[in-house]
Every structure is written in C-alpha cells, then in structure tokens.
Chain A
C-alpha cells in the first residue's frame, strides 16, 4: 500500500516536473544563459532521480544521473545550451516520460535503442570526472561476449567488516568487470548516532553494471561473501544494440 502511494506520487510529480523541464529547455532557445531556467531544469531532474531511487527504478536513476551531470555543466557554464544540446535534452525528457509511463502502467521497464542512443549522446556532454564510470577493463576472451546489463543488490551482513571483507572492495571488483552505469547506497537502516554499533554495516547497495562478462563472472565477485549476505544478481536486458 505504501509502495502504491509512493508510486502514484512519483508518477504525478515526475509528469509535472518533465513538463516544467521542457518549458525551461524551450526558454533556453531564446535565453541560453538563464540561470533561473537552468537551475529549475536541474532541480527537476534531480527530484525525478531521487523519486526513482526511492522506488528502485534503476533505469531512470542511471539515465537521470547522466542528464544531471550535463545540466550541472550547463549551470557552471562549462558548456553552452546550443540548439543541438537543447534538442538532445528534450529527447531525454521523452525517454524519461516513457519510463515513467511504464511505472504508471505497471509494465515491465524495457530500455530500447532510443534510451541507449540518447544516453550515449548525453555522456559526450557530461563531465567524466563527476561520473562513477570507469574505463572498461580488459577481460579474458569469453565464449559469449555480448553486452549485458546486470542489476546487483548487495545487502551485507552487519558483521561483514569483522570478517575482513569490505563492501567497497566488492564494488571495486564489480567495476573491473565493465562499466558501472549507476550505484546507489541506502542508509535507511543507519541508526541514530548514540545507538550506532561502530563496526557494523548498515548500508546496502544497488548497482547497474554494463558488462561483456557472463553472469558467473559477476557471481564470482561475491564468492567469499555468500551465505547470510544477500546478493541478488539479475540480467535486466540484452544490450547488444545499447551503444
């Protein structure tokens, strides 16, 4: 019930914010330096990302993460809102609207070719240094090298650090398998400062990884932390045409 309420609120708010973003983007055609418009567009994108994160819609989070980086560079005047970029950002709004409609209609979220095309075009404008994207590691030849996107949920045991394992090292190993499209940490279980047990792990993570490695390679990262640690790995799409 609470999830339905959240979802409904997210959809309504996202649709309003997307309309506002589009109005703001159109206004950039006549006033490309308008700080008010740029800040409004950025806040809208950021709010949509936050709502999608709450609902665990990683496809929207990954997309708006890159969009946000581009908008941030615009705000800082590192790049200019020329016609080509405005058109691309409007295309980005269309992509998000389509994904939001999937949430609204409770349809499975399937990212299509357009999602990948717009995302890659946005990346060219995004500042690589603010992204968590890392260069692809060289991987040994695999029988099947088609690209995949994996959604990995890591809910470690509270005593994971005491066993000598570090969740950040696991995330580092994951990033060596390909390109981390998005990573979100969840602090909801973090207790108040006075109640905190300093050596326990309260965080959990969601990662969206694009990789040419097979599923067994991703599972291999967690070989030594299986058992009571909850690790869910799902292949969310075949992305042969993603790039």
Chain B
C-alpha cells in the first residue's frame, strides 16, 4: 500500500510500494499536493518498501517539474538504493 503525505508545504513523506501497481496513485497524489512555490522541498522516503522503474520515473519527473535544485530525496532505504545501483539509477537520488 502506498502512502503520500505532505507535512506543511515543504516536506513530503512517501511510504509503502512505489511500484507499477501504485504508479497512477503516486502520480496523482504528487500532482495534487499543495507545495511551496519557492524554497527547498524535502521528500522523505524512509518508509518506502519497494520501488520499481515506474516509481523512479515518477519521482525523477516530479523533481524536474519542481526544479531539481529545490528537491532533495532523503532517507532512501539501503535495500532500494542497492536496487537502484543495479540499474544505474542511484545517481538520480543523490
């Protein structure tokens, strides 16, 4: 089960499975957040349990949409980072 919550206009928490089954939910949820127009946005991924290519694409596109320099991905679990390294995609989450 995927959960997307914002804590104020500058912190987003994503937990659960960011996989193809939840891809539309993740996309719609992120699009519907009310976020600050300026300043940093922190995306806390501590509770993420799984992520496939669909989740990676959505998060990278979201970051580009808001301005890559503004958005930081935080607390990516080690097992997901290992998977991203395998696919040469860890660089997008630094």
Contact = CB atoms under 8 A, between A and B. Distances in A.
A234 to B, nearest CB: 18
Contact of A167 (B53, B61, B65, B85): B53
Interface of A: 132, 161-162, 166-168, 171-172, 175, 180, 182-185, 187, 190-194, 196, 198-203, 205
Interface range, B side: 20 to 34
29 contacts: A132-B85, A132-B86, A167-B53, A168-B53, A171-B86, A171-B87, A172-B86, A184-B88, A185-B87, A187-B92, A190-B61, A191-B61, A192-B61, A192-B64, A193-B58, A193-B62, A193-B64, A194-B65, A196-B57, A196-B61, A198-B23, A198-B24, A198-B26, A199-B20, A199-B23, A199-B54, A201-B54, A202-B57, A205-B87
Contacts of A190: 57, 60-61, 64
B40 interface: no
Contacts of A200: 54
A166 B88 contact: no
B88 A205 contact: yes
A190 B27 CA distance: 14
Nearest to B51: A168
Contact of B27 (A167, A172, A198, A203): A198
A132 B83 CA distance: 10
A202 B85 CA distance: 18
B62 to A, nearest CB: 5
Contacts of A198: 23-24, 26-27, 54, 57-58
Contact of B65 (A166, A171, A180, A193): A193
A185 to B, nearest CB: 4
Nearest to B28: A198
Given A162-B20, A192-B64, A192-B65, A168 B57 contact: no
A106 to B, nearest CB: 27
A196 B62 CA distance: 10
Given A161-B54, A198-B27, A202-B57, A168 B83 contact: yes
B87 A168 contact: yes
